[in-house]
């Protein structure tokens, strides 16, 4: 997915959050924003939002001297999500409901202003919503015939909902070899390999790194080891907008996107109303 006109203001807004979360020093904040402005000026018509945005964010991290300004937000989201999911795990959750919860978990994105206090309330409310596009039956059919699943995670907090879903996948499709991918290091509120390990995902599958801190799966920047897993996977489940942005132009019918279309560009790309909950197979491949 190439940038839309709204991506400029979105990246700029993220940078303002980074400097405000990363330092109390007004001079350092200004220095960070000036660095952001230079980075955003590099945006071109064929830029991928997740990639150009990540590069700008890392420049701002360097300018303010804080390599993980979202750390407290991520820790809070993990604690709250873990509590919500532990309550859900005591209920009789089937595979389809677990998939829906994994999609609902995608709302836990502090980078777009989500309030953590609303997590449980919102989760319960959204369970009553229908998926606007629901290709889950096809996903489950493919998983039943697959040998290797690659699961691309998105945000902290959300990974506890992923854990619930992956446990159900493991129960339903025990033949699967499962790989679960996180970022190599911190970038906004995305889950790192270390976050996945702390959440206990190693008990379900093999936790691997994309080999980069850039959001999504930026081809040419991910590691050779990650690409080996990507190429041999029979099914790829990609969580969130960043993964969609970096993968959507790859003609690959193995990919199923689980996400909430939070912004207008994503909704426009998928031709769905903004805010839709989606389980959609890649529409670009066989």
The first and second tokens of residue 126, run together, are 């959204």
Classify residue 45: in a domain, yes or no.
yes
Reference 213, options 242, 243, 186, 179; nearest CA is 186
Do 150 and 219 lie in a common domain?
A: yes
Distance (Å, rounded) from C-alpha 280 to C-alpha 134? 6
Same domain, yes or no: 38 and 81: no
pLDDT tens-digit map of 134-163: 999 999 999 999 999 999 999 999 999 999
Radius of gyration of the chain (CA): 18
DSSP 100: H
Contact 74, 22 (CB under 8 A): no
pLDDT per position as a tens digit, 38-83: 999 999 999 999 999 999 999 999 999 999 999 998 998 888 888 8
CATH of the domain at 243: 3.40.50.10880
- The answer on pLDDT for 104 being more than 70 is yes
Full domain range(s) for residue 13: 7-64
Q: What is the number of structural domains in the chain?
A: 2
CATH (domain of 60): 1.10.8.380
Query: Residue 2 domain-assigned?
Result: no
């Amino acid at each position: 997915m190439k940038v839309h006109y709204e991506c400029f203001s979105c990246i700029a807004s993220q940078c303002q959050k980074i400097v405000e979360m990363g330092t109390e020093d007004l001079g350092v904040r200004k220095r960070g924003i000036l660095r952001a402005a230079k980075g955003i000026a590099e945006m071109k018509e064929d830029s991928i939002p997740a990639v150009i945005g990540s590069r700008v964010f890392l420049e701002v991290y360097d300018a303010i001297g804080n390599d993980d300004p979202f750390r407290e937000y991520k820790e809070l989201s993990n604690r709250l999500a873990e509590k919500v999911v532990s309550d859900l795990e005591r209920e009789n959750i089937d595979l389809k409901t677990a998939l829906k919860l994994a999609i609902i978990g995608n709302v836990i994105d502090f980078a777009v202003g989500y309030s953590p206090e609303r997590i449980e309330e919102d989760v319960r409310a959204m369970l009553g919503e229908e998926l606007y596009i629901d290709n889950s039956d096809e996903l489950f059919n493919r998983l039943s015939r697959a040998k290797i699943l690659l699961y691309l995670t998105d945000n902290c907090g959300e990974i506890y909902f992923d854990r619930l879903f992956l446990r159900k996948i493991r129960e339903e499709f025990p033949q699967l070899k499962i790989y679960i991918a996180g970022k190599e290091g911190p970038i906004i509120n995305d889950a790192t390999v270390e976050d996945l390990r702390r959440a206990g995902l190693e008990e379900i599958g093999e936790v691997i790194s994309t080999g980069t801190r850039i959001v999504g799966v930026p081809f040419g920047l991910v590691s050779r080891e990650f690409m080996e897993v990507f190429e041999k996977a029979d099914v790829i489940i990609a969580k969130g907008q960043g993964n969609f942005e970096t993968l959507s132009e790859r003609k690959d019918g193995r990919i199923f996107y689980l996400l909430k279309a939070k912004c207008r560009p994503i909704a426009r790309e998928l031709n769905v109303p903004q805010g839709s909950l989606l389980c959609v197979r890649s529409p670009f491949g066989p």
